[in-house]
Amino acid sequence: MNRFLCFLFCVLAVAACKTHQTAESITPADEAFMREAILLSVESVAQGGGPFGAVIVKDGEIFASCSNSVTLDNDPTAHAEINAIRAACRALGTFDLDGCVIYASCEPCPMCLGAIYWAGIDRIYYANTRQDAEAIAFADNFIYEDMDRPMAQRNIPIIQLLRDEAQSAFRAWTEKVDKTEY
């Protein structure tokens, strides 16, 4: 009986740790910022955009609140996260969003996730998943899966040529002493 109790307490301790960890990483402020992103995603549908919203926060203050405007702006890159990154950079006068957190109403697609890495954002919160997006006919999951395949097996053919000639720009970059790195 003692052994059973010991096992039971171990299981409860692990469960408590896990619960504590989750509670620690999600605050009421995080929920409030995510609700703002969700509100943007709902309003976007009514306004003719895609059902996605994103908010970028620094030091507890919102610097960008955007929704998806792909069809409204004739711009396939105008996802909520990309729009928000560009808006936050304009607001903060920098290409480096170090110290910022993004709240996206859906898991970022590969384009948006890549942009988040390039922007140097600290942390990502998301609500819907790529599978949820797939269920309403968005290509997020398809793109993740396709770009993970070897080039020869992808749906969009990708072919290399003239690498030797293209190296000239990389050499010029290496040799440039006054460049702005990013």
Task: Point out the residues that are catalytic.
Answer: 81
Judged by CB under 8 A, the residue of 54, 66, 85, 100 near a copy of itself is: 85
Tell the smallest beta-carbon distance from residue 111 to a copy of itself (Å): 3
Map residue 37 onto helix, strand or coil. helix
CA distances from 7 to 3, 11, 18, 51, 69 (A): 6, 6, 17, 46, 54
Determine, following the binding rule CB under 8 A, whether residue 75 of this chain makes contact with a copy of itself: yes
Q: How many residues does the chain have?
A: 182
In angstroms, the CA 56 to CA 120 distance is 12
Judged by CB under 8 A, the residue of 13, 14, 16, 123 near a copy of itself is: 123
Judged by CB under 8 A, the residue of 56, 100, 106, 130 near a copy of itself is: 106
Judged by CB under 8 A, the residue of 1, 4, 23, 48 near a copy of itself is: 48
Stretch that binds a copy of itself, among 6-14, 55-63, 166-174 (CB under 8 A): 166-174
**Which residues lie closer than 8 Å to 110 by C-beta, 6 or more apart?**
140, 143, 144, 147
Determine, following the binding rule CB under 8 A, whether residue 131 of this chain makes contact with a copy of itself: no
Choice between 8 and 99, CB closer to a copy of itself: 99
Count of residues that bind a copy of itself according to CB under 8 A: 92
Tokens of 10: 């171990």
| Cβ pair 143, 109 in contact under 8 A | yes
Choice between 5 and 162, CB closer to a copy of itself: 162
Choice between 6 and 42, CB closer to a copy of itself: 42
Choice between 62 and 70, CB closer to a copy of itself: 70
In angstroms, the CA 40 to CA 64 distance is 11
Strands 123-128 and 53-58: unpaired
- Report the amino acid identity of residue 99: G
Judged by CB under 8 A, the residue of 12, 96, 99, 149 near a copy of itself is: 96
